C-alpha cells in the first residue's frame, strides 16, 4: 500500500482530530476531577515540608 497525500489528510482529519480532542478532554477531566484535588494539593505542599530529609523505610 502506498501512503498518499490524500490518505494522510484523511487520517489526520479523522483519527488525528478525535485523538487530540479526546486526549485534551481526558487531561482536563483528570486535572479537574474533584476527588483528585486532595492528592494534588497534598503533593504541591509536600515538597515544601520535608523537614526530616530522609527516605521512608518500611
Partner 1 sequence: MVAELTKNERQGALVILLALAVTGLAMAAGGRGDPFGIHGAMVLVAAIVGIFAVIGGYYAPEPSPERLDSYYDSPTKFGIVAAMVWAVAGMAVGDWVAWLLAYPEWTFDAAWASFGRLRPVHTSGVIFGFGGNALIATSFYVMQRTSRARLPDQLTPWFVLFGYNLFCVIAATGYLMGVTQSKEYAEPEWYADIWLVIVWVTYFVLYLRTLNRRKEPHIYVSNWYYLAFILVVAMLHIVNNLAVPISWGSAKSYSLFSGVQDAMTEWWYGHNAVAFFLTSGFLGMMYYYMPKRAGRPIYSYRMSIISFWGITFFYMWAGSHHLHYTALPQWVQSLGMTFSVMLLVPSWVSAGNALMTLNGAWHKVRDDAVLRFMMVAAVFYGLSTFEGSFMAIRPVNSLSHYTDWTVGHVHAGALGWVAMITFGAIYASVPWLWKRNGMYSAKLVEAHFWLSLAGTIIYVFAMWNSGIIQGLMWRTYNESGTLAYSFVDSLVAMHPYYIARAIGGAFFLLGAIIGLYNIWMTIRTASQDQAAQNVADRPVTEPAIGAPALQPGE
- Asked if 12 touches partner 1 (CB under 8 A), the answer is yes
Q: Does 42 bind partner 1 (CB under 8 A)?
A: yes
Whether the Cβ atoms of residue 44 and residue 38 lie closer than 8 Å to each other: no
Q: What angle do CA 35, 40, 30 make, to 5 degrees?
A: 55
Please, what's the b/e burial string for 27-57 (b: 16 or more CB within 10 A of its CB; e: otherwise)?
Answer: eeeeeeeeeeeeeeeeeeeeeeeeeeeeeee
* 4 interacts with partner 1 by CB under 8 A: no
Of 2 and 51, the one with the shorter C-beta distance to partner 1 is: 51
Q: Which of 20, 21, 22, 25 binds partner 1 (CB under 8 A)?
A: 20
Give the residues lining the site for partner 1 (CB under 8 A): 5, 8-9, 12, 20, 23-24, 27-28, 30-32, 39-48, 50-58
Amino acid at each position: 500500500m502506498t501512503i498518499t497525500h490524500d490518505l494522510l489528510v484523511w487520517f489526520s482529519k479523522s483519527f488525528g482530530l478525535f485523538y487530540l480532542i479526546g486526549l485534551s478532554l481526558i487531561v482536563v477531566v483528570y486535572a479537574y476531577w474533584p476527588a483528585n484535588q486532595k492528592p494534588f494539593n497534598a503533593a504541591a505542599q509536600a515538597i515544601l515540608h520535608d523537614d526530616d530529609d530522609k527516605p521512608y523505610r518500611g
